[in-house]
Amino acid sequence: MRGAKVFGCANRCEQRRNVCARFVHVLEGGAAVRMLRTILLPIGLIALVVLIASLIPDRAWADGCGPGLHWVDDCPAGDDLFSSTTAVVGIDLNGDDCETVELDLTLSGPTTVHRDAEAGDQIDTEIVTMELTGGGVTLRVGNVPGINPDVPPTIGAVVEHPTIWTLADSFFDVFFEVDVPGVGLLYNHDPVRVEAVIDRVPPWNTIYLPPGDVCVDLFDDPIDGNDTGMNLAHAEHDTGPPPGGGAVELFVDSSEPSAHAEDASGSSSPPYAAMAVIAAAAVVALAAGGWYARRRLS
């Protein structure tokens, strides 16, 4: 009788050991594989995707030039997108040679500028698209949908300053179409020149202004047509902030600039520390996943 009790106890212990062994096997096998499949590998892959994406800069920044000495000389061709620009425009509706401005507008919208590669301390530029709206008025420049195809192109240039080699003179000779409710479409035959001193391209937070007073006749056709008696009395264009916001300080000497375009995190330079952390997380997650997979298959 005593021997039977001992045997029964031993049998129950053996059964418990078998249950425990199966439980441990499940934890080490199936649960680990499920964790590998549902957690570790996705984390590693997501981290790698984020790392790769962080290495691809915005096109405008990637193709930008300056600041620094003779930055114009090394500037490649490219397209610069200004996503949030603002123009202040005054129109003399009474035809009194701009003595009064009956229509004073603030317009906003995107602008795209194409620039050729540098040639002889000069970069040729063109406003290829600009469509600004405000107060029911629409101003169009370049090749935008709906503009009269006879509107001449708006050509400009960036020319290195002759004595201050960190700066350049930038200008555009602007031809436009402006759609004014109750008036119609108005065009200029004489270009409206706007200019600014810049230390980089894209020239963020830069205001382009005419070199002097403006009073430009407006017509009902971009080439011929009739003089409407109305005039453009004022024009200025603000290129707006860089992507992510921030301030840009003009760099006017040969020392390091004290302030550059800043993104929302406070620096325009790539976030190398964050990228390193992401890379390390990806490596750890993938390595752990590989270890669990090898352990499961062995």
In a domain, 82, yes or no: yes
Is residue 186 situated within a structural domain?
yes
Are 35 and 26 in contact by the 8 Å Cβ rule? The answer is no
Query: How far apart are alpha carbons 271 and 252 in whole angstroms?
Result: 27
52-56, 206-210, 235-239: which has the minimum mean pLDDT? 52-56
Residues 112 and 27 in one domain: no
For residue 125, is it within any domain? yes
Report how far Cα 94 is from the mean position of its chain's Cα atoms.
41
Same domain flag for 141 and 69: yes
The answer as to whether 281 is a domain residue is yes
Which residue range(s) make up the domain with 218?
60-238
Is the pLDDT score of 35 beyond 70? no
Q: Does 246 map to a domain? A: no
Which of 223, 238, 253 is at the close of a domain? 238
The pLDDT assigned to 40 comes to 55
Q: Nearest CA to 148 among 231, 221, 224, 230? A: 221
Same domain assignment for residues 45 and 191: no
- Are 201 and 276 members of one domain? no
* Residue 100 sits in the same domain as residue 234: yes
Total number of domains constituting the chain: 2
Tell me the pLDDT of the chain averaged across its residues. Answer: 78
pLDDT value at residue 276: 55
The residues that bridge with 154 in the sheet, in sequence order, are 127
Which pLDDT belongs to residue 244?
73
Helix, coil or strand: residue 177? strand
User: pTM of the prediction?
Assistant: 0.64
Kindly state whether residue 285 falls inside one of the protein's structural domains. Answer: yes
pLDDT of amino acid 23: 44
Domain boundary among 238, 261, 281: 238
pLDDT for residue 156 is more than 60: yes
Residue 265 counted as domain residue: no
Residue 19 has pLDDT above 60, yes or no: no
Q: Are residues 287 and 163 part of one domain?
A: no
Residues 67 and 163 in one domain: yes
Over 70: is that where the pLDDT of 104 sits? yes
What is the 8-class DSSP label of residue 201?
Answer: B
Q: Which of 49-53, 226-230, 273-277 has the lowest mean pLDDT?
A: 49-53
158 within 8 A of 170, measured Cβ to Cβ? yes
Q: Are 51 and 296 in contact (CB under 8 A)?
A: no
Give the whole-angstrom CA distance, residue 217 versus residue 204. 30
Structural domain ending residue among the three candidates 190, 221, 238: 238
- Residues 65 and 106 placed together within one structural domain of the fold: yes
Could you tell me if 11 and 43 lie in one domain? yes
In a domain, 247, yes or no: no
Residues ≥6 apart with Cβ < 8 Å to 185: 148, 177, 178, 179, 220
Rounded to 5°, angle at Cα 142 from 137 and 147: 55
Residues 86, 225, single domain; the answer is yes
Q: Are both 81 and 214 inside the same structural domain?
A: yes
Q: pLDDT tens for residues 231-270?
A: 999 999 999 999 876 555 555 554 444 333 333 333 333 4
Range scoring the smallest mean pLDDT among 24-28, 67-71, 84-88, 168-172: 24-28
Q: Residue 120: its pLDDT value, please?
A: 86
Cβ-based neighbours of 226, under 8 Å, separated by 6 or more: 219, 220
Do residues 209 and 234 both lie within one domain? yes
